[in-house]
Amino acid sequence: MSTTTTSVAAMADRIRAGSQVSLARGLTLVESRSDAATELLAEIWKDSGRAHVVGITGPAGSGKSTLVLRMAQEYLTRGMRVAVLAVDPSSTYSGGAILGDRIRMTELAGEKDVYIRSMASRGATGGLSRAVLDGIVLLDAAGFDVVILETVGVGQAEVDVISVAHTVLVVSVPGLGDDIQAIKAGLIEIADIHVVNKADRPGADLTVKQLRESLRLAHNLASKWDVPIQKVTAATGDGVAELLDETAKHRTWIGEHGALKDIERRNAATRIRWAAEALMAGRLRTGAPAFDAAVEALIAREEEPRQAAARLLTAMAVDPTDINGRGTR
């Protein structure tokens, strides 16, 4: 354990110092959900909490990849460091760059203030959400001012993933069908900002009008944030500066109106539950001496299940790093 802790501490130092190689290794570690990943997250946790996490979702063909590229370039122009985390719950490929990333990486080659990474589901339910939330901590601690969380598809898994973001952009385009895809996909409710991409196309104003109408119908009275509809043309960069202004405005607004705190609370609550589950899974497994002893006590009727569980959880807490339950009883 001490060797791992030492190398993890060194990795954390290098990530803080801005090493993209160490960051990449850290993200791979985080995807593995190993003990070392937990160590790294514990080590680096206090350095996180500063980045603005911007989620982007929208149907295939809405030009999200190009939009994210332009946004990243505009952030760089403004002297900000930006990371892109592209998530694809429907794909099991991970650990490298997907096609869109390669194109973007070419355009952004040599920029040390930008970092792009893909994450894909590894089959485990909720596994991607966890890897994403952990990945954001690393990128945040590495000093990126903005983390753009981009989803590839538009399903429930994407909505779950994107819900950890501070500001959610939903992208629509004119002419993909009679109706707005975002409305069909049930994305109206989660949007903090609506983006109409390819706004130079005919029908852009109709798309804006339809979005405005559906916003009026779906208006959430609890929120006082007035959801803007921003027209952009990612291909030329038109409207991207204004989109970044709206995004920054939203960040300021949620900070002033308690909504940021709500998101932070929800994410922190999720993290504590995951950490507790991980501690429990390590301790409450066949082969862990304390657990095996509790099982025998249960069979002998010396204890009932809740007592046994409570006792094991106490013992566990004595040394949280002793996840195998080999230490105290």
Q: Which residues form the interface with a copy of itself (CB under 8 A)?
A: 38, 41-42, 45-46, 48-49, 261, 264-265, 268-269, 271-280, 284, 286, 291, 294-296, 298-299, 301, 304-314, 316-318, 320
Between the two ends of the chain, the Cα-to-Cα distance in Å is 20
Nearer to a copy of itself, 110 or 305 (CB): 305
Distance CA 39, CA 25 (A): 14
Distance CA 50, CA 260 (A): 12
How many other β-carbons are positioned within 10 Å of the β-carbon of residue 287?
A: 8
Q: How far is the CB of 170 from a copy of itself (least distance, A)?
A: 27
Q: How far is the CB of 142 from a copy of itself (least distance, A)?
A: 16
One-letter amino acid of 223? S
Distance CA 23, CA 21 (A): 5
Distance CA 271, CA 266 (A): 9
Q: How far is the CB of 298 from a copy of itself (least distance, A)?
A: 4
Q: Which residue has the tokens 């099991």?
A: 92
Q: How far is the CB of 203 from a copy of itself (least distance, A)?
A: 43
Nearer to a copy of itself, 147 or 180 (CB): 147
Nearer to a copy of itself, 206 or 310 (CB): 310
Q: How far is the CB of 237 from a copy of itself (least distance, A)?
A: 36
Q: How far is the CB of 269 from a copy of itself (least distance, A)?
A: 5
Q: How far is the CB of 131 from a copy of itself (least distance, A)?
A: 15
Q: How far is the CB of 325 from a copy of itself (least distance, A)?
A: 12
Identify whether the C-beta of residue 179 lies closer than 8 Å to the C-beta of residue 210. yes
Nearer to a copy of itself, 24 or 313 (CB): 313
Nearer to a copy of itself, 153 or 320 (CB): 320
Nearer to a copy of itself, 60 or 269 (CB): 269
Distance CA 127, CA 110 (A): 32
Nearer to a copy of itself, 129 or 207 (CB): 129
Residues 6+ apart with CB under 8 A from 41: 30, 134, 137, 138
Nearer to a copy of itself, 213 or 264 (CB): 264
Q: Please name the helix (run of DSSP H) or strand (run of DSSP E) that holds residue 270, with its range, or none.
A: helix 259-283
Q: Please name the helix (run of DSSP H) or strand (run of DSSP E) that holds residue 229, with its range, or none.
A: strand 229-231
61 conformational bin, left if phi > 0, alpha if psi -120 to 50, beta if neither: left
Distance CA 169, CA 172 (A): 10
DSSP state of 46: G
Q: Using alpha carbons only, give the angle 185, 187, 190 rounded to the nearest 5 degrees.
A: 160
Identify whether the C-beta of residue 196 lies closer than 8 Å to the C-beta of residue 181. no
